[in-house]
Amino acid sequence: MSEPSAAGDVHVVCVASYFKGADFLRECRERGARVSLITRRRTAREAWPSEVRDDTLLLPDDAGAELVIHAAAHLARERKIHALVALEEFDVVTVALAREHLRLPGMHSSRARLFRDKLAMRARAREAGLRVPDFVPLFNYQDIGEYMERVGPPWVVKPRSDVSSSGIRKCEADEEVWRAVKELDAREALQDRSSYYLLEKFVAGEVFHVDSVVEGGRVIFRGASRYGRPPMSVAHEGGVFTTHTLDYDSAEHAELTRLNAELLRALGMERGASHAEFIRGAADGEFYFLEVAARVGGAHIAETLEAASGHNLWREWARVEVAHARGETVGAIEPRREYGGIALSLARQERPDTSAYDDPEIVFRMDKPYHVGLVVRSPELARVRELLDSYAERFAQDFSAYVPPPERRGINL
């Protein structure tokens, strides 16, 4: 294992199968670290900040874990690696395997799988005393049948490792579940068959997320927010995605931040960023754990939380990684107590023109083909919610398009 390095000698290697985390790279460089990037050829033309990268290795788009591990080992030949970081959801376990191979500090594969496998994370959360919608793995037919007798419909069939709401199907009757199992087991790829799915009670309600930075097993920065519509509804029905930060003094903010800290402690996160989702059941008003990832939330949640708090998740995470490599700590981060929100949608136009949206609260405009998004900031939560409601209605008229999600892909939230 590499020893903590003196200032100027830290080498951070970032792995990203998709374009994510440019601010992480920038912050590492601003902190005096050497920065290397391992990515895929499909991202070569993305806006990676070239001025802060010392090395870039482009792997084939279909490269497996062995090639990623080899690439990291290659970079380690000339300069020791002090931090090996997965910037993207799909790289979390692969990078953990590379850390094990190179004997580097950080999350190793058994713990990383808790943040990728929805079955494993649910089981661990339930063991820790958190409420979880009742679930059963799609392993044993008798267990599945007994579960459906005990837990009434509706249910959802969920892939254990996909991100966001991709691959989810809702079932109202036993026959639909058995049909789904049969269809999954007819698939050619073994990893697409039913044992890689679970069946869960569908809980109607409002969906929330807590985004965090963790250092030394302790949450040092977090923001609690509420989605305007559940991500599953947006993914499967279309429409405008919105989310906004919560009232800092509300009971729901206090409860969600408490649950998030308990969850991350139960899953053993020592250092990094996380995105956790909870639902408040419409029937009983209780919060239930839905899922968690060891990454920064997508859909420009980082920019939204930065608008409210004054702190960027990517940059704070980078600060923690570089400080750890030097044997230092960052410590608790005090946020600005303002409010942020985002309205985001697929667009009919390649380059949507948002010049007519001129509210002074707008602090960020999304720049991505066939997408439209605005982040707003205000000292008043009511003003943020007012703007998001207005933008959701106007986006639907001015821009919004809908593309049905492929079976096993979706917006990475």
Residue 219 near residue 213 (C-beta atoms within 8 A): yes
pLDDT at 232: 78
Residue 279 near residue 185 (C-beta atoms within 8 A): no
* pTM of the predicted model as reported, rounded to 2 decimal places: 0.94
Residue 314 near residue 27 (C-beta atoms within 8 A): yes
What are the backbone dihedrals phi and psi of residue 19, each rounded to the nearest 5 degrees, phi first?
-75, 105
Residue 215 lies in a domain: yes
End residue of a domain, out of 160, 179, 201:
201
**Residue 3, both tokens:** 């020893």
SS3 annotation, 356-410: CCCCCCEEEECCCCCEEEEEEEECCHHHHHHHHHHHHHHHHHHCECCCCCCCCCC
**Do 213 and 179 lie in a common domain?**
no
Any residues with CB less than 8 A from the CB of 236 and at least 6 apart, and which? 165, 168, 404, 405
**Do 193 and 304 lie in a common domain?**
no
CATH at residue 191 = 3.30.1490.20
**Residue 366, both tokens:** 């999304």
Rg (CA), the chain: 21
Instruction: Check whether 6 has a pLDDT greater than 60.
Output: no
Domain residues for the domain of 88 are 11-109
Give the whole-angstrom CA distance, residue 90 versus residue 129.
Answer: 28
Measured from the Cβ of residue 272, the count of other Cβ atoms closer than 10 Å reads 22
How, if at all, do strands 11-16 and 83-86 pair?
Answer: parallel
CATH at residue 344 = 3.30.470.20
Instruction: Check whether 296 has a pLDDT greater than 50.
Output: yes
End residue of a domain, out of 109, 126, 159:
109
Q: Would you say the C-alpha torsion 59, 60, 61, 65 has a positive or negative sign?
A: negative
Among all chains, which residue has been given the structure tokens 């899922």? Answer: 291
More confident residue, 409 or 148: 148
Amino acid identity of 267? L
**Do 355 and 212 lie in a common domain?**
yes
Residue 129 lies in a domain: no
Give the whole-angstrom CA distance, residue 122 versus residue 250.
Answer: 27
pLDDT tens track for 337-392: 999 999 999 999 999 999 999 999 999 999 999 999 999 999 999 999 999 999 99
